[in-house]
Amino acid sequence: MLSSAFVPGVIPRLFVIGGSIITYLYTVHLKPKTWIKNISCASLVAMSPVTSGLAAWQVLCDGTFLKSQGVSLASSLPFYLIFKSSLSYLVISLFFGIFSREILMDVTDCEGDSEAEIETVPVKYGKKFASSVALVCSFVSALQACTASLIPLIYTRQKLSIKWSMSLLSNSMSRNALLAILGSGMMVQRAFSVWNTEGEDSKLAERAIRQSSLFTVLILASFV
């Protein structure tokens, strides 16, 4: 909370403070509530790029380097640009990807949560339903990540050629598309394998959770 005072910009600072409050209230007040715990965790992660982006914008607006170069920026961020950029795809992809991971974690903790009378999604609706939700969320996350990288690639590469095929890895847009497809494909495949067992194979779900960090890194890298 003290460090939030050094975050540049009012809106990013409010985001950090709000995230800190949600984190503080999570265990006692949010975790016992069905769906709310998953939404809060996914939202905290998904909003981090927006928070850092708004903070960076504030630094650029207040900075002297750009002014010395004769570059002037608007004092306030035109928010419609967020929805026109790949940032919107990143936020949605992160939200549903983390949401899927949170559901899978609840699947592995189903017995313990049931004994503690914590009504998570698998406790209240069953592991089969929970694994279906995780699969759908992972698919939405994959769709957003792939769309964000494939659309600019298709626009700029209307005609396939041997030269384009040879420079596939060296081209940044092509590299991002490959990273998105790889990370998304692995994420969906793992979620599908858990769904295929109706969430009853806890070891398989735990493996999917551990590997989700790799999937997330690949998807994040596809936006760089």
pLDDT digit string, tens, across residues 81-111: 666 778 889 999 999 999 999 999 999 999 9
54 plus 99 within the same structural domain: no
Expressed as residue numbers, the domain containing 2 is: 1-84
Q: State how far the alpha carbon of 127 is from the alpha carbons of 16, 110, 114, in Å.
A: 34, 8, 12
Position 132 scores a pLDDT of 95
68 plus 105 within the same structural domain: no
Domains in the chain: how many in total?
2
Let me know how long the chain is: 224
128 plus 221 within the same structural domain: yes
Buried b (16+ CB within 10 A) or exposed e, 141-157: bbbbbbebbeeebeeee
Assigned token pair, 197: 């067992």
Position 155 scores a pLDDT of 60
Position 41 scores a pLDDT of 92
For residue 161, what is the domain's CATH number?
Answer: 1.20.120
Position 31 scores a pLDDT of 83
Contacts of 73 (CB under 8 A, 6+ apart): 57, 60, 61, 66
Element (H, E) at 19: helix 10-25
Residues (pLDDT < 70) of the chain are 63-83, 152-170
Boundary of a domain, candidates 84, 105, 126: 84
